[in-house]
């Protein structure tokens, strides 16, 4: 049997190396997609946890305003604590969303670089289209996360104003005077929880579309 020439051996080795590098790049691509899905899921989880914490805050707020409230001073301190926890949950959504965006940037650059190396014009075009579609889905997830952060602002500001108002005046008359304001806050709270539910639904829909079958 004729042995391969040195040149032929070099070609075979080069081909084997190219295939190995391509396989490694594909494996890394899959891992990056999985990591993006994981980070997006963490963002959705943070939105859900923030919603639950906000509902606890509103619950304590309403208990202070109840006519039969017991120990409003204690409830007032609890409201301050719950509001701080709500703001922390809101900040956690932003932190997780930032991590998700960072991972998306790495994935999209890697995908674009890999696509540029496809020799077939048809396959390259289809890969570019898939990349753009994935970017669009991610943009919707990102928008949902940002919306979840932003919708807190009006109601939390209203709550903080009322906490300040009650700071030196927790008697029944002062509490009763907040009744019209409380109606507005509770309406805002319902709108907020509805918007958070929408954000979670939109994000989950796009996450599921990205998930490998």
Q: Is 149 domain-assigned?
A: yes
Average of pLDDT values for 185-192? Answer: 92
- What pLDDT digit, counting tens, does each position of 78-96 carry? 999 999 999 999 999 889 9
Cβ contact 149:97 at 8 Å: yes
Answer whether residue 178 is part of any domain: yes
The segment with the largest mean pLDDT, out of 32-41, 46-55, 98-107, 118-127, is: 46-55
Mean pLDDT of the chain: 84
Instruction: Give the global pTM.
Output: 0.81
Domain assignment present for residue 25? The answer is: no
* The total number of structural domains that make up the chain: 1
Residue 142 lies in a domain: yes
Per-residue pLDDT of 15-70, as tens digits, reads: 444 433 344 445 676 788 888 889 989 999 999 999 999 999 999 999 999 988 88
Tell me if 129 is assigned to some domain: yes
Domain containing 50: what range? 31-210
Whether residue 24 is contained in a domain is answered as no
- Kindly write down the DSSP assignment for every residue of 98-132, as one continuous string: HHHHHHHHHHHHHHHHHHHT---HHHHHHHHHHHH
**Is residue 61 domain-resident?**
yes
SS3 156: helix
Residue 22 belongs to some domain of the structure: no
Q: Which residues contact 122 (CB under 8 A, 6 or more apart)?
A: none
């Amino acid at each position: 049997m004729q042995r391969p020439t040195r040149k032929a051996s070099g070609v075979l080795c080069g081909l084997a190396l190219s295939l190995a590098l391509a396989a490694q790049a594909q494996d890394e691509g899959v891992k990056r997609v999985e990591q993006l899905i994981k980070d997006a899921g963490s963002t959705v989880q943070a939105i859900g946890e923030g919603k639950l914490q906000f509902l606890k805050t509103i619950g304590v707020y309403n208990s202070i305003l109840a006519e039969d409230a017991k120990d409003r001073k204690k409830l007032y301190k609890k409201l301050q604590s719950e509001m701080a926890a709500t703001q922390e949950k809101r900040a956690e959504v932003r932190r997780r969303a930032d991590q998700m965006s960072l991972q998306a940037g790495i994935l999209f650059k890697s995908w674009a670089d890999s696509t540029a190396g496809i020799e077939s014009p048809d396959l390259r075009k289809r890969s570019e289209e898939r990349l753009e579609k994935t970017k669009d889905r991610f943009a919707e997830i990102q928008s949902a996360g940002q919306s979840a952060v932003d919708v807190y602002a009006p109601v939390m500001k209203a709550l903080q104003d009322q906490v300040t108002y009650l700071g030196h005046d927790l008697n029944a008359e002062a509490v009763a005077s907040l009744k019209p304001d409380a109606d507005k806050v509770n309406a805002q709270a319902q709108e907020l929880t509805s918007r958070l539910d929408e954000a979670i639904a939109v994000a989950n829909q796009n996450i599921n579309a990205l998930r490998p079958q």
